[in-house]
A and B are shown apart, each in its own frame.
Chain A
Amino acid sequence: MTDLPEGPTSRRVDRAGLVIAAALAALAVVLVWDSRQLPATTMYGMGPEVMPVVIAIGLGLLAIGNLIDALRGNLPPRESADPKAVLLILGGLALLIAIIGFGGGFILATSALFVATSAAFGRRAILADSVIALVMSTLIYLAFDRLLTLSLPTGPLERLL
């Protein structure tokens, strides 16, 4: 069915669609490359190296399908996106990961994420949000650490409690 000609309203090539197709193809290559490192040990039936190749073939076919959609401009329309907001939230997540990684504890880490997300949604009151975030994450910490005895990572602030 893919060879049916498009009507006169043929849209232009969708670049993001090309990237998606390329990413799927790359993923297929990674799967095949990884599966070749597995020794074929099973005597009967299929070993662990078969399924990755099957999935890689599927990904390859889907890469072609997505490529055709992209070349025809068949992707659904999308609205403009605000990259600053996305980067702010991702920055907040990176901060959270760094604080947890360096032993800064749960309260500081989630507070950083809270303030960054709130700023991404247009709030400019960073000081007020920081206070709200610290109080909220301290309460969550106490509730989960003391009441439900889940172990959350501790840092300087948690040791004070």
Chain B
Amino acid sequence: METFAALAHGMAVAVQPMNLLYALIGVFLGTAVGVLPGIGPALTVALLLPVTYKLDPGGSLIMFAGIYYGGMYGGSTTAILINTPGESASMATALEGNKMAKAGRGGPALATSAIGSFVAGTIATIGLAFLAPWLVDFAVRFGPEDYFALMCVAFVTVSATFGDSPIRGLTSLFIGLTLGLIGIDKLTGQARLSFGIPELLDGVEVTTLAVGLFAVGEALYVASRRHHAEEKIEPVRGSLWMTREDWKRSWKPWLRGTLFGFPIGALPAGGAEIPTFLSYSTEKRLTKHPEEFGKGAIEGVAGPEAANNASAAGTLVPLLTLGLPTSATAAMMLAGFQQYGLNPGPLLFAERPDLVWGLIASLFIANVMLLVLNLPLVGLWVKLLAIPQPWLYAGILVFATMGTIAAKPSVVELSMLAGFGVLGFLMRRFDFPIAPVVVGLILGPIAESQLRRALAISLGDPIVLLQSPMSATLLGIALVALLAPFVLKGMNRFKATED
């Protein structure tokens, strides 16, 4: 019942007219930016951070909730209409969605994705509201060694377990960890890796890194291979609305997608790829129209879209209760909190319940607005997709640099942005995943200070890491998750030679 009271209080915060307006602006801007090809939700949040600089923390976090959901929905629109998923989570959507658009059923595909996102988002946010306080009760008993172990699990699962090459994923992670070392050490005041450059003493800004890697890197990459293939936009033809048959075929996939998305998203492992592809393959198996799969089956859009949105809400569980970002988008949300000196975690629930519950309540509101705004505005978003590529990417770069110029107009900071852009380009070209870099930069310093705190309390005895049953278990999980892909790869090779 405590949850209901807290949620009701949060609702009271969120429905203040000013906050409703912030949520509306957030959803609108988030969708508008997220719909641009090549811009995923993480970049949407990073690009729009400067817009929230001047707001109070409450208003800005509420706008963030809108941007988060808006960016997700915008990404699906791009995936369906031009088959360029902005991030791996909408890859499954693009499979059937783009086929539907090609067959002239783009309208129903967008509609089932919008309504499915709404259904999944609402259910998952209820899950978040009930799971979070329970997890907070649990998390307040965590010692620094438990946090350190938890972050090790996140490091391994974000980088090594799910990519196609654990070596490349771990390489990305360690680049991020290295960047996290730059600047003044918080515990002793010593400067690390600053090479006498005063601007580096503050460390690397998360937004500079994310915008450089995602926006500048993507622009360079797309420009470098422009001669290969032009993107083709599918015009939305025919009816925008779903038929009775479409509804009948959509509602079960929505619910099943939610069931996959929320629990997996809420694990500290994170990642929306697993639930979206699980949902896709489940729908493919359960469908009564197997002949349509591969040619544009509505179940194949409804399920993964719901899973994607549910896992996005699930990701907020470890973020809000443990301060643990498990996706690039969540890492950007954490950066948004940090710009106000707020650290998500069990303490934030105790100290600023108005803020946390206001945010959770705004997620419901953002969801409703997403539906109200996007069904009628589909036509507008499609027009945005039709901006000629040269102007589109030129505009993206102007906005990307503007964020940095507004935050820190220094030559060093802008050079770092350009440098990260080159890094992002090379990583795309050589197929290194990008998200682990961002997660490494954010979590690396936190993990280090937790480890050092644990060791300081134990007077330098590393056995403290294994004495806490929680920490020992988590470190074991991290080790297994680290080694499993290598072992499995070896077994696959055995199989290959047997055949």
Contact = CB atoms under 8 A, between A and B. Distances in A.
B192 A117 contact: no
Contacts of A59: 174, 178
Contacts of B402: 106, 110, 140, 144, 152
Contacts of A41: 188, 190
B409 A85 contact: no
Interface in A26-66: 27, 30-31, 34-35, 38-39, 41-42, 44-48, 51-52, 55, 58-59, 62, 65-66
A65 B167 contact: yes
Question: In the complex, which of the residues A45, A69, A120, A123 has the most CB atoms of chain B within 10 Å of its own CB atom?
Answer: A45
Main secondary structure of the interface of B (DSSP, over half): helix
Contacts of A39: 190
Contact of B455 (A44, A78, A101, A118): A44
A108 interface: no
A113 B390 CA distance: 12
Nearest to B172: A62
B62 interface: no
Given A75-B431, A148-B51, A121 B224 contact: no
B225 A79 contact: yes
A82 B181 contact: no
Contact of A86 (B167, B195, B425, B490): B425
Contacts of A122: 226, 390
A48 B390 contact: no
B54 interface: yes
Interface in A137-161: 137, 140, 144, 148-153
A100 B408 CA distance: 11
Contact of A4 (B411, B425, B431, B493): B493
B193 interface: yes
B187 interface: yes
Taking residues whose C-beta sits less than 8 angstroms from the other chain, chain B's interface range is: 35 or more
Contacts of A131: none
Contact of A45 (B223, B411, B460): B460
Contacts of A17: 430
Contacts of B237: none
A100 B409 contact: yes
A97 B489 contact: no
Nearest to B448: A51
A127 interface: no
A137 B399 CA distance: 10
A4 B460 CA distance: 41
Contact of B452 (A24, A46, A136): A46
A132 interface: yes
A101 B412 CA distance: 10
B64 interface: no
Contacts of A92: 397
Nearest to A41: B188
Contacts of B185: 48
Contacts of A76: 164, 430-431
B376 interface: no
A58 B178 CA distance: 10
Contact of B225 (A42, A82, A137): A82
B342 interface: no
Given A86-B223, A100-B409, A110-B402, A132 B216 contact: no
Given A51-B448, A89-B397, A148 B418 contact: no
B341 interface: no
A26 B394 CA distance: 34
B33 to A, nearest CB: 14
Contacts of B391: 118, 123, 129, 132
B226 A152 contact: no
Given A31-B178, A89-B219, A101-B411, A150 B455 contact: no
A45 B401 contact: no
Contacts of A80: 225
10 contacts: A4-B490, A51-B448, A65-B171, A75-B430, A78-B431, A81-B429, A82-B227, A109-B401, A120-B390, A122-B226
Interface of B: 50-51, 53-54, 164-165, 167-168, 170-171, 174-175, 177-178, 181, 185, 187-188, 190, 192-193, 195, 216, 219-220, 223-228, 389-391, 393-395, 397-398, 401-402, 405-406, 409, 411, 414-415, 417-418, 421-422, 425, 429-431, 448, 451-452, 455-456, 458-460, 486-487, 489-490, 493
